[in-house]
Amino acid sequence: MNDSPSSARENWISASEVGRYLYCRRAWWLQRVKGWAPQNRDVLERGTLQHRQYVETARIMRQTLRRMWQLAFLAALVALGLAFTIVLAQR
């Protein structure tokens, strides 16, 4: 058994490799065992960029939605306070 650092790196499986394996076992095997590289690197890079942009857009949308609910809650509190003030003023 070879316990050298390079051997340990060869046996190490990263989280992205697990994702690749779950997506397509055959493609993972071809890359990991056979050493084949995908021929469509530019397409893969564009897809990665688009995915990052999507994730960032989704994050901004979640943040905006959270702010919207906070403002709606605040507006409801102001409306309740105003209504309560009007009711008390009429007594």
Where are the domains positioned within the chain?
A: 1-37, 41-91
Q: Decide if pLDDT at 83 tops 80.
A: yes
Residue type, 50: Q
Give me the phi and psi of 78, to 5 degrees please: -65, -45
Task: Please say whether the dihedral angle defined by the alpha carbons of residues 44, 45, 49 and 55, taken in this order, is positive or negative.
Answer: positive
Whether the Cβ atoms of residue 20 and residue 27 lie closer than 8 Å to each other: yes
* Mean pLDDT rounded to a whole number for the chain: 88
Q: Decide if pLDDT at 2 tops 70.
A: no
Query: How many other β-carbons are positioned within 10 Å of the β-carbon of residue 30?
Result: 14
Q: Decide if pLDDT at 5 tops 70.
A: no
What pLDDT, on a 0 to 100 scale, did the predictor assign at position 9? 61
Q: What is the pLDDT of residues 37-78, one digit of tens each?
A: 888 889 888 988 999 999 999 999 999 999 999 999 999 999
